[in-house]
Amino acid sequence: MKVAITAREGSADSAIDQRFGRARYLIVVDTDTGQTDTVDNEVNLNATQGAGIQTAQNVAALNVEAVITGHLGPNAFRTLSAAGIRAYTALQGTVEEAVEELKAGRLEPVESADVEGHW
Amino acid sequence: MDRTVIAVASGKGGTGKTTVSTNLARIAAMQELEVSYLDCDVEEPNGHIFLRPSIDNTTAVSVPVPVVDEQKCTACGKCKEICQYSAIALLGKTVLTFPNLCHGCGGCLLVCPTGAITETGRNVGVVEEGISGSVRFVHGILKIGEAMSPPLIRAVKDRILPQGISIVDSPPGTLCPVIQSVKGADYVVLVTEPTPFGLNDLILAVEMLRVLELPFGVVVNRADAGDEAVFDYCSSESIDVLARIPDDRRIAEAYSCGSLAVEALPEYASLFESLLKEITCVRL
């Protein structure tokens, strides 16, 4: 399964970025093969509005099945849901640790937006 | 008199835009000039506190937002591409619209090749019109929680008459709402205060007006309360200081009671008279 994780730095040992729309990087991990790719999300960092929607569309274009992030606003949640992408919350730790937690079934799926827009 | 639009703006908030605008409007009316006061600070309009108008007309203002007919949509993505505000997303064959992000430009409607997009209105606030003595009064009130103020500001400015003086009380800052407010003005008055904050934001406002190529001058409020840096900046940039309003406690007291300086303290009438004359006779 391919998973996108929001990250503060561009590598798998980076801390998870708690913000979804304005995350600095997306790390794409294939949990079956262990292959890791880094996607720069800087363009959405300074978006005046709609960062969550844009990032969610970018994530959808990566053909991932799931996202691991800190918090999701209402627009990002709606966009990810429309793309059929499940989201999981990881409030601390690194990208690698979060993937291990997900594989072990210890991450909670996000059922609704947990923060307001422009968080 | 031909149409004269004077916008009153500032970078920093709380420098005295409304004090200058409302007093200018009243002084113009005292001189029997035809004058309108338009409060474009629609997020928190406060000119009415001082002018105390009687309102005789209220109009709801809406922004056109897209509605997508899924039967006609081919998921080509053209609407999503043209939208600069991320108000349309395309996921596979699903088009999502986000009306609260839509600026109502109509671009998606124009580019849709199958006519799948129509528009519906989303209410953003109201425009109220009335009269305060002989000052014609217009202001916009943005709906609480609404972020899209420029369309409402446009609706307020649509009420500018083809003749007489129109004083446009702008919101603070240098973003879209301010640009929407000052656009088309014949002259802009930038109100500032002689503090480091006042200067910092004045510079931003000056840079904005220079890009917009609008003529402007500066009014320094509480002029003797801070330092000389604002005056030094204006002189080094060849910017005219049109008036200095002193740091007089009585002006603040009148303000706190919702009174106009020119009414509560008649000795200030001449200050606003000369400011109005400076703008209308010398600058224009």
Q: Around Cβ B189, how many Cβ atoms within 10 Å?
A: 27
Contact A31, A3 (CB under 8 A): yes
Using a CB–CB cutoff of 8 Å, tell me whether A54 touches chain B: yes
Per-residue pLDDT of chain B (284 residues; tens, 9 = 90+): 689 999 999 999 999 999 999 999 999 999 999 999 999 999 999 999 999 999 999 999 999 999 999 999 999 999 999 999 999 999 999 999 999 899 889 999 999 999 999 999 999 999 999 999 999 999 999 999 898 899 999 999 999 999 999 999 999 999 999 999 999 999 999 999 999 999 999 999 999 999 999 999 999 999 999 999 999 999 999 999 999 999 999 999 999 999 999 999 999 999 999 999 999 988 77
What is the reported pLDDT for B23?
98
Q: Which of A107-111, A114-118, B167-171, B280-284 has the highest mean pLDDT?
A: B167-171
Q: Would the CB atoms of A53 and B89 count as touching at under 8 Å?
A: yes
Q: What is the pLDDT of residues A39-67, one digit of tens each?
A: 999 988 888 889 999 999 999 999 999 99
| A contacts of B92 (beta carbons < 8 Å) | 60, 83-84
Fold topology of A2-109: Nucleotidyltransferase; domain 5 (3.30.420)
Q: Would the CB atoms of A75 and B98 count as touching at under 8 Å?
A: yes
What is the reported pLDDT for A119?
53
pTM (2 decimals)?
Answer: 0.82
Query: Residue B195 contacts by C-beta under 8 Å, 6 or more apart in sequence?
Result: B225, B226, B227, B230
Shortest Cα distance from B88 to chain A (angstroms)? 9
User: Which of B85, B89, B147 is opposite residue A79, by nearest beta carbon?
Assistant: B89
User: Which of A50, A60, A84 is opposite residue B86, by nearest beta carbon?
Assistant: A50
Query: Rounded to an integer, what distance in angstroms lies between the CA atom of residue A34 and that of residue A20?
Result: 23
Q: Would the CB atoms of B96 and A54 count as touching at under 8 Å?
A: no
The residues spanned by each domain of chain A are: 2-109
3-state secondary structure of B102: coil
Which tokens is A21 given?
A: 């729309």
Residue of B nearest to A75 (CA): B98
Query: Rounded to an integer, what distance in angstroms lies between the CA atom of residue A102 and that of residue A109?
Result: 10
What is the reported pLDDT for A118?
64
What is the reported pLDDT for B1?
60
Contact B67, B117 (CB under 8 A): yes
